[in-house]
Amino acid sequence: MVDIRPQQAKDLEAIARINADAFAEHGGTGSFDRFREERTDIISLVAESEGQLLGHVLFSPVVLDTPDGPVNGMGLGQLAVDPVHQNQGIGTKLSEAGLEKLRDTDCPFVIVIGHAKYYPRFGFEKGVTNNFVCQWEGIPDNSFMVLFLDESRRLELAGTARFDGL
Ligand SMILES: CC(C)(COP(=O)(O)OP(=O)(O)OC[C@H]1O[C@@H](n2cnc3c(N)ncnc32)[C@H](O)[C@@H]1OP(=O)(O)O)[C@@H](O)C(=O)NCCC(=O)NCCS
């Protein structure tokens, strides 16, 4: 039985360990790490089973520079599952729980840079075909994705999307 709940201060060490283990091959998680301790405008959730943390997801603010001015959205910045517990649905539960929280807000879109075969299951689409541009050069088109939470704004949303603070 895996519970998804908001991050608490006591979780920070375990979250850091999960991210370090899950992203070991990628050289660590870098830039987003300090957001967990410093920001209150993030969604940071953990997956817990029998008192043990097994996974973590972090959503943080993103600004889309549209021709009509900036539009605030969110970005899925980190998703990590303890390597021993991967492929058991924990990443899916964490992502869905975070997106469910965002659906209760007026956040119109969420971006992610990640595995092109993983994120479409949550409704993410290729950014480039939706006129979303990544702030960083060199990210493969397939890896930069957007999910529209407010379908009515799909056509008006276009521009470069930047993670706030990065
Ligand atoms: C990617 C990750 C978060 C997925 O979480 P998970 O709990 O293992 O995945 P789930 O059980 O929810 O989903 C399993 C599915 O994810 C797919 N999957 C797992 N890792 C994947 C990867 N690196 N790339 C693409 N798909 C992946 C599996 O093939 C499986 O697909 P299926 O449902 O079609 O059979 C987890 O494997 C992880 O922490 N990986 C290392 C860190 C990382 O790459 N994070 C994401 C950065 S974008």
Using the mean position of ligand 1's atoms as its centre, give its distance from the Cα of residue 69 in Å: 35
In this structure, the residues whose C-beta lies within 6 A of any atom of ligand 1 are 22-23, 79-81, 86-92, 114-115, 117-118
Using DSSP bridges, classify how beta strands 125-126 and 69-81 pair: parallel, antiparallel or unpaired: unpaired
- Kindly give the confidence (pLDDT) of every residue in the chain, 166 residues in length, as a single tens digit, with 9 standing for 90 and above: 999 999 999 999 999 999 999 988 776 666 788 899 899 999 999 999 999 999 999 999 999 999 999 999 999 999 999 999 999 999 999 999 999 999 999 999 999 999 999 999 999 999 999 999 999 999 999 999 999 999 999 999 999 999 999 9
Using the mean position of ligand 1's atoms as its centre, give its distance from the Cα of residue 83 in Å: 10
* Distance separating alpha carbons of residues 108 and 73, to the nearest angstrom: 6
Domains and CATH numbers, the chain: 3-163 (3.40.630.30)
* Ligand 1 atom with least separation from CA of 80: 39
Pick the residue whose CA is nearest to atom 29 on ligand 1: 87
* Ligand 1 atom with least separation from CA of 89: 11
What's the pTM value of the predicted model, to 2 decimals? 0.96
Sign of CA pseudo-dihedral 160, 163, 164, 166 = negative
Q: In whole angstroms, how far apart are CA 88 and each of 80, 91, 122?
A: 13, 8, 16
Q: What is the pLDDT of residue 31?
A: 75
31, 85, 111, 118: residue to mutate for ligand 1 pocket, most atoms within 8 A of CB:
118
Using DSSP bridges, classify how beta strands 52-66 and 132-134 pair: parallel, antiparallel or unpaired: unpaired
Pair of tokens at residue 24: 């070991």
Using the mean position of ligand 1's atoms as its centre, give its distance from the Cα of residue 120 in Å: 12
